[in-house]
Amino acid sequence: MTTNRLSQLWALVAEHAWPQGASVSLEDICGVCAAEVPSDGVSLTANTSPQGRVERLCATTPLAREIEEIQATLGQGPGRAALSSDGPVLTPDLGDSTPRRRWPAFTPAAIQAGLGAIFVFPLRTGAIYLGALSLHRTGPKPLTDTQLSDALSLADMALDIMLEGGAETCVEDRPLGDGSAAFHDQAEVHQAAGMISAQLDVGIDEALVRLRAYAFGHERPLADVARDVVRRRLRFTPDPQPD
């Protein structure tokens, strides 16, 4: 994942949130994920208890809602498997023998609901599991390398929003770790660059240059300027055209 692509994704998320006039939300992450990683449904869940109980925070389609309800009812499925997984739980063909053995109750119920493939990306910080981002497809089809990379980045964005308090989650009263602030700052810089790109109608690289130049010229930390852009306290305007 290049810096340029990450900034492009932040720009798409910011554009998705813009019509509502609100800060970027988990719903915006789901919406962009469904478009950029072609899916028939995207859902995002939060871990709401130390015992692994989950709550659906958003779902883009009835299929996505139904699949989460099936997992909640049966207590098994890829989303539940992600609770103990160190990485994504990728199931490109639900009709294969492996998912049938692994989730004997969930798999036939999900197939009957119309699910053909499911990809679950755990949202973790250290040992703390905050939730999962899930992509659903009606037909069996694996993710391409580019789609997998985009999904991982969007999952990281969702994690960042959750860490900032964008969703009620259970973290078992444990600290999030010293690295979370730096992660927030980096994510906000990318998001701000995406917003500036839209405001000035310039490329992401140019937007990053403008952002850094503003911070340098005003003797302010880059992260603080980026935060002002994201919170809509600062807006960049195009340079006036010469007569």
Interval 19-44: pLDDT, tens: 665 667 888 899 999 999 999 999 99
CB 205 within 8 A of CB 159: no
pLDDT tens by residue, 53-74: 678 888 999 999 999 999 888 8
What's the pTM?
0.70
Helix (H) or strand (E) holding 200: helix 180-200
Average pLDDT for runs of 10 along the chain of length 243: 76 78 79 93 81 78 93 89 88 95 95 97 84 95 95 91 57 33 59 86 84 86 86 87 60
Measure Cα distances from 230 to 122, 139, 147, 203 in Å. Answer: 26, 38, 26, 18
Helices (H), 2-115: 3-17, 26-36, 62-74, 78-81, 97-102, 106-113
